[in-house]
Structure 1
Amino acid sequence: MTLNGKLRWVMEQLLELHPIAASGHLKPTKKELLTHSCYKFLTITSILDVTCLTNAALFSGLLTLLNLNPCNGHAWTFVFAYFAPMLWYTYCAASEVLSLNRMLFFVNDRLSNFLFKGKRTWLWLIYILSYPIICAQFHEDGMFYVYDPYSGLIYDGKPYHFHAITNFSKLGTVSAMYIIMVIAIFWKMHKSGSSSTLKHQINISLQTLLVAFIGDACATFYILAQSIIVGPYLGFAAQLSWIFLHLSTGLVYLIANKKYSCTVCVFKPKRNVMFSKKELLTHSCYKVLTITSILDVTCLTNAALFSGLLTLLNLNPCNGHAWTFVFAYFAPMLWYTYCAASEVLSLNRMLFFVNDRLSNFLFKGKRTWLWLIYILSYPIICAQFHEDGMFYVYDPYSGLIYDGKVGSM
């Protein structure tokens, strides 16, 4: 396989995983998607979203929990200090190119084809990857970020005005290009109506516009937090906006394209096994997987968002607000519910391969939903084994949830 062939294969697999890859009124195939420059840039920004989210959430969370910075931390804190701004500037460059691509598509077809048609799209990687290197040249000591675990915010280690300039330029250029794009969309619809192709392009463009708006909000928060002192929680809001920016890409594309057909592919050497959405719902396994997925999201909210808030704000039920008590009871209830759901899922999978007759008796058709009685009642049963109910206390110093009182469940 040639280098170009390998690159194409990688992009196809990434598009298969991308939420918008299976969407569209025209239902394009993977190869057809790769002919559109927009999808190529969306794949690039999605990769950067994942890497930036790792910095914004995982590494920043570790630094907060362990109370580390480059002065008292290990070698990896220095890697993070340099790596975080490099990725942010790369993301800024990619979002600017994406906004230019969307604007020119509606404003000037000739210039759009000249700049983005075919393999010319990949030439923009030169700008995207070289932009952070160019940014580094404006500071003699290079780019260096220091994460402050007390305010939950990343500051420039040394005065670095180009950081603010970059955020301002991203805020201005991206906003301006999308404003022009929206005007051009209204003009095209008024002039020539809306074909299915135009509707599809408008749909994906409005999704990128929403993500860009969230990105502008993130840049604004950081400009304010690093330049103007406005309340003790501004840094916390800036950090959350950074995390939400890179989460929003997947959320926006997933929600905006929920009405389109969805496929699940099982990759094999020479074939793909495809299931439609309605066919999936006939399998008990996918019903239970849907339940566990919902519980995953809610448990993740407790394990990451609420626990992170308690850590950053140094709160517990003794010094916190009413919501800390809600969390103290809600967290264990959700955990026990998830445990019950995972037990049902494992039973379903085991019986499918061990005993077809018993599997059909317990899970066939709508019988699967009867297991919700067990899943939802299990945490209530657990609560009966503790006279004071289940109560969790989150310790922001150790980053761990303890039982408020001794409980064996």
Structure 2
Amino acid sequence: MELFLFKHQEYERLYNCTNLVIDSIPIEDRRLTIEALINLILGIIYFLVYLPCLYSIWKQHWKNDCYTILLYIGIVDLVGIIISGFLHPILSLQGAVFCSYPTLIYIVGTFVLAFNRCIQIISPSIAKFLFKGMRTYIWLLFCTLYALYCMFFINPVLFSGIYFAWFFYPFVGYREDYGEFVFDQLPSYHDVSVAILSPLIYLIFAIALVIKSKKSIITPNQAPTQYFSISRLEKMVFLQVFSLSLLNTTECLFYIIMQYTTQQKWMTILAEFLWFHIHGFPPIIYLTLNKTIREDCIILFKKLKNINKDPPSNVVNVMVTPFNANS
């Protein structure tokens, strides 16, 4: 964004579409109709399902720091769904590439990069160890500042309908020579760090959970017998965070490969859907594994259903008596 706002001549030099003929690649090769429609339908479903979950999280975040993190993630996810679940498939249905809508795709790409980095750097499970009270807001501020830095000072990712994905290089599929285009290294370092540290953190989390649940049974005249007892709640918490971690780790690995190797369409499609599900799948996990959120959503739907069924209570019956002029 810094290049676009304050160094526009340099932006025009690096992202110039003047000599590029979009239709040199037929629209049939730039449009993936089935994938885009699936993406769009799932985007609508995820967005509608996420809203009541976010309402429940908002109710709970006053009581629990972990829910404050989930609220922050939820807001980021909704923006991510709007981009990856609505704008992305619409651009794909049009067979768009960067040069189709350069300004729009460039600006949206800065938000994509910022929100993607923001959602990957924070995790509700880590909140159990590092987030408490005001520390929660300090970490959220750090994540926000990091996202803003990526938005303004890192080259954005740009949509390409050819591969149904977003790339740092604006002319993917048209020009193989990168010329003077310089790739920022921070996104690569970020993806590698997430791909390595994320599973490592969850491994530590799992080990800590097992150690914490270690118990002993002492019976007369026998040595103490040790066993592990993990509650259903602890299992559900671990399963939630592990599912999200797996999506993040896999997506990062694919994007590392995509940016620096010859693009394979199956890989770019899979990577895009992984990124999309990082934002869209959490409400499914919440409704399946989180009893509090599930019950709040059921109560909310019942209230909405009753509002539609109940007649208005302020109706007044008025009896009109005909006027008789002879009386």
Q: State the AA in 2 paired with 1:131.
A: Y
Shift in CA distance, 200/19, structure 1 to aligned 2, threshold 3 Å: farther
List 4+ stretches of structure 1 deviating above 6 A: none
Decide whether the 8 Å contact of 2:111 with 2:151 is kept in 1: no
Larger radius of gyration: 2
User: Are 1:222 and 1:238, in contact at CA under 8 Å, matched by a contact in 2?
Assistant: yes
Per-residue CA distance 1:146-179 (angstroms, 9 max, x = gap): 2110110111135233212111111112211110
Counterpart pick for 1:18 among 37, 46, 53: 53
Partner of 1:326: none
Tell me the equivalent position of 1:248.
Answer: 281
Aligned-residue offset at 1:204: 2.4
Partner of 2:127: 101
Distance 1:224 1:190 in 2: 41
Q: What is the Cα deviation at residue 129 of structure 1?
A: 0.8
The one-letter amino acid of 1:123's match is I
Q: TM-score, normalised by structure 1?
A: 0.51
Q: Measure, in 2, the Cα distance between the counterparts of 1:150 and 1:235.
A: 10
Q: CA deviation at 1:194?
A: 5.5
Quick one: which of 140, 149, 153 aligns to 1:125? 140
What residue is the counterpart of 1:89 in the other structure?
A: 117
- Residue 201 of structure 2 corresponds to 177
| 3-state secondary structure, aligned to 2:166 | strand
Distance verdict in 2 for CA 1:43–1:233, change over 3 Å:
same
**1:342-396 per-position Cα deviation (integer Å, ceiling 9, x unaligned):** xxxxxxx68x749xxxxxxxxxxxxxxxxxxxxxxxxxxxxxxxxxxxxxxxxxx
8 A Cα contact 1:86 1:132, kept in partner = yes
Using structure 2 for the length normalisation, give the TM-score.
0.62
Structure 1 CA distance for aligned equivalents of residues 273 and 192 of structure 2: 19
Aligned twin of 2:267: 234
Greater relative contact order (CA < 8 Å, ≥ 6 in sequence): 2
Structure 2 partner of 1:43: 71
Instruction: Count residues with an aligned counterpart.
Output: 240
Q: 1:206 aligns with which of 239, 246, 268?
A: 239
Q: What aligned pairs does 1:233-382 form with structure 2 within 5 A after superposition?
A: 233-257=266-290, 262-263=295-296, 280=302, 353=311
Give the conservation status (yes or no) of the 8 Å contact 2:109–2:158: yes
Unaligned 5+ runs, structure 1: 1-14, 23-28, 105-114, 266-273, 287-348, 355-409
Aligned to 1:58: 86
Q: CA deviation at 1:16?
A: 9.2
Aligned equivalents of 2:82, 2:134: Cα separation in 1: 30
Q: Which amino acid aligns with 2:245?
A: A
Decide whether the 8 Å contact of 1:20 with 1:254 is kept in 2: no
Amino acid at match of 2:90: L
Percentage of matched positions with identical amino acids: 18
Cα distance change of structure 1 residues 84 and 230 upon mapping to structure 2, 3 Å threshold: closer
